[in-house]
Structure formats: structure tokens, C-alpha cells
Chain A
């Protein structure tokens, strides 16, 4: 089929019914005089039929298994997943938050220095409040302190979403201006979480979602 490579695309499009009338005429003229291209067309037709016959049934009980999973997921979040912190740690966390708030207020007082290295309490972290008796604060020192500076306690979040999808990576970059690092965790507000889910759904991305404490308003994104 030497010299006929340009007809490969036309032959392929012919099989898909995607040729313009003029292209179809041109191809027919060529096929009439080129046995190699006729053979090529016949081969592609045979391949087409063969692939079309490769459908197989799903394993027995497939729908039942999927629905079992779905119904299990729809159950209310289990308290068993809650990771309880010792009482002294809860007080320590609460005290640390208070100290940060006070530090923030101190730096924001009239006449305070405008040192860019100062630590401010982040407004975006506001929803990370009371969750199952544990106060969690997230601080944002001008971007120097990561947003995931929270303990490993899935139950402290309204939901935990785990993914390695590119859609999540670009969402994180575009919406929060944060680089994607595998193994990293990012805390999100309810609005950010809704936006992330929307982006993942639109992209058809794969992710797992674990529902957590209903009382919490903070969400967690886990980068796989």
C-alpha cells in the first residue's frame, strides 16, 4: 500500500460513515484501481466485526454487589470511626487555638508592626470549629504554614475525599493556589468542598468519599 497512506484516514472514516460526499467519490475512484487499499478496507471491516463481537456479560450478581455497596455507603456515618483524643490533648488543642487567636489579635492591634512573617488567624479556616468535643484550629501564616496542620482525625471532618485524579490537582491549583503533593492533606470549607466535588463529577474523576462527623463543617481532601 506504498503511497496510499493518505487513504488510510479516508478508509477509516468511510467505515464510520464520516466522509463528505466529495471524499467518498475520491476514495471510491482510488479503491477501484488499488487492490491494496481494497484489502485494507476489507481487513478493517473484519476487525470492526470482530471487536463488535467482544461484548461479554458482567459477572453474575454484579448489580446486587454494586447496590450493596451503595446502600452501605448511604448509612449514617459510624461513630466507630471517631478517633477520640485524650482529654488533656483536647484542652491543649483548645489552649493552642486561644493562644493563636490572641497572637492574631495582638498583631492586628492598632499600631502593630506590619512584619509579613507574623502569624494571622486565617479567615478561610473559620469553619474548623467544634467537632466532637475537639477544637481544631488551622493557621495561615501568609502561606508559609500548610492548610493541613490538623491532627489525623477523620471524624473531625464532615467528609474525607481521597483521590489522585488530575481534576483534583488542577482544581487545587486553580482554586486554592496550592501545589499538589501526594500524601498531603488539605482542609476545605463547605463551599470549597462542593466546588471540588463538582469539578470531579464533571471530569468523571475517580475518588472515594467517607462521610464523617455530621457536626463538623470542615472537609478534608487527601492527595493519594
Chain B
């Protein structure tokens, strides 16, 4: 059954149809939330909140943009909400656009499994993503983790296409800068002189 079929059934009150949608998207939604929130427990809460919002909103969901776009939008909103709430609770104030969101030492990711399976670069990238500004992190994970088009990202984050394109470019540059600083990309440079 397609997403559209399941959405139609779920909107009519069929919770089993909705359960299929949740199963279909749980990993994708959770992964997105995890990259925004950083904390696995917060990510699970945000992912759950996104699905609950979807269930509540189904009667008025028109389906123009497709369920995936909608659920990712709900996820980003729930995750950002969760992140802000928790940062407020933890007394952090770094919600601006500077690349100043320091990693939380309490966060266990990237874990040993991540390092073992994906090598050092993947673990370093996961770490570097958390140091990006909220804006940069959002566009980059929607693009690279979910492989969404500029149009879909624009719809999810309510940005215009030009902003999405330039923000993704800046986010990549910022992430690379962090990785160069930590020495995780030095192998890809033809020579140090070429970079300078």
C-alpha cells in the first residue's frame, strides 16, 4: 500500500493503517531527530511527538506535499522544540546562528559501534554536525541523511529555494572547516599549501 492509501485510511480513524506508516518512517524520523537533538532519549521523545502530531493533524492534512515531507517537517519542529527546551533547562543560550553549539559531554553518540562500523570519519562527522548552527545542521541532514530535494527542504523549513541552496553550501563549508580543524579531512588535501 502506498503512503497515500495509508494516510487516507488513517485519516478515517484506522489506527492500524497509521501504525504501518509509523513503522515505515520510524527509523528515518528517529535518525533525523537524533541528529538535531543529539540525545537519544530526546530524539525518541521528539520522534514520538512528531507521529502524535501527525495523527492529530490527519483530519486536516491535505496531502499536497506528501506524507514524508509532512512527517519530516513535524519531526524537525518537534526536535528543535525539544532541543530548545532542554537547552533552556540546562542553562544554555546558544541558539543563535553562530557555530557555537558545543557538544554536550553527556551525549554518548557517536558510540563505539558508530566508530567501528563507519570508521573515524563518520564518527567525526557526527560530532562535527553537533557543532554546527541549528540552521546549518537542519538543511544538511535533510539533504544528506534523507536525500531530499531543494524543493522538499524548502517546503519543510519554509525557506525559499535560493536560501536552501546557499545555506546547504555554507553548511558544507562550515562542517568541512570543523573537520579540517580536528584533522579529520587532512588525507583529502592534495597538499597543505594548496589549501592556503
Do the two chains bind?
yes
A interface residues, Cβ below 8 angstroms from B: 1-2, 8-9, 11-13, 15-16, 18, 35-36, 38-40, 42-44, 46-48, 50-59, 62-63, 65-67, 69-71, 73-74, 164-165, 197-198, 200-207, 209
Q: Report which of B34, B56, B173 forms a contact with A209, defined as CB distance below 8 A.
A: B56
Interchain CB contact under 8 A, B47 and A62: yes
Residue numbers in A under 8 Å from B179 (CB-CB) = 43, 47
18 CB < 8 A contacts A-B: A36-B190, A39-B194, A47-B179, A50-B122, A54-B125, A59-B30, A62-B22, A63-B19, A66-B22, A67-B18, A70-B55, A165-B77, A197-B57, A201-B61, A204-B70, A204-B74, A206-B81, A207-B53
CB distance from B111 to the nearest CB of A (A): 10
Query: Which residues B31-49 have CB closer than 8 A to chain A?
Result: 31, 34-35, 40, 44, 47-49
Residue numbers in A under 8 Å from B7 (CB-CB) = none
Question: Given contacts A51-B125, A52-B144, A54-B126, are A66 and B190 in contact (CB under 8 A)?
Answer: no
Query: Which residues B64-100 have CB closer than 8 A to chain A?
Result: 70, 73-74, 76-78, 81
Report if B118 contacts A (CB, 8 A).
yes
CB distance from B82 to the nearest CB of A (A): 9
Interchain CB contact under 8 A, A201 and B60: yes
Interchain CB contact under 8 A, A67 and B19: yes
- A-B pairs with the 10 shortest C-beta distances? A12-B169, A51-B144, A201-B57, A58-B30, A204-B73, A58-B26, A50-B125, A9-B169, A50-B122, A36-B194
CB distance from A56 to the nearest CB of B (A): 5
Residue numbers in B under 8 Å from A43 (CB-CB) = 176, 179-180, 185, 188-189
Residue numbers in B under 8 Å from A59 (CB-CB) = 30, 40, 44
Interchain CB contact under 8 A, B194 and A58: no
CB distance from B134 to the nearest CB of A (A): 15
Question: Given contacts A40-B176, A57-B30, A63-B19, are A69 and B52 in contact (CB under 8 A)?
Answer: yes
Report if B181 contacts A (CB, 8 A).
no
Question: Given contacts A12-B169, A67-B19, A201-B61, are A44 and B44 in contact (CB under 8 A)?
Answer: no
CB distance from A223 to the nearest CB of B (A): 15
Residue numbers in A under 8 Å from B140 (CB-CB) = 51
Residue numbers in B under 8 Å from A8 (CB-CB) = 169, 172-173
CB distance from B47 to the nearest CB of A (A): 7
Q: Report which of B27, B74, B76, B143 forms a contact with A58, defined as CB distance below 8 A.
A: B27
What separation, in Å, do the CA atoms of A223 and B143 have in the docked complex?
33
Question: Given contacts A35-B190, A38-B190, A55-B145, are A69 and B23 in contact (CB under 8 A)?
Answer: no
Residue numbers in B under 8 Å from A205 (CB-CB) = 53, 77
Residue numbers in B under 8 Å from A203 (CB-CB) = 77
Residue numbers in B under 8 Å from A54 (CB-CB) = 31, 35, 114, 118, 122, 125-126, 129, 145
Question: Given contacts A50-B121, A50-B125, A63-B26, are A16 and B150 in contact (CB under 8 A)?
Answer: yes
Of listed A2, A12, A70, A204, residue having the most chain B CB within 10 A = A204
Interchain CB contact under 8 A, A70 and B125: no
Interchain CB contact under 8 A, A56 and B31: yes
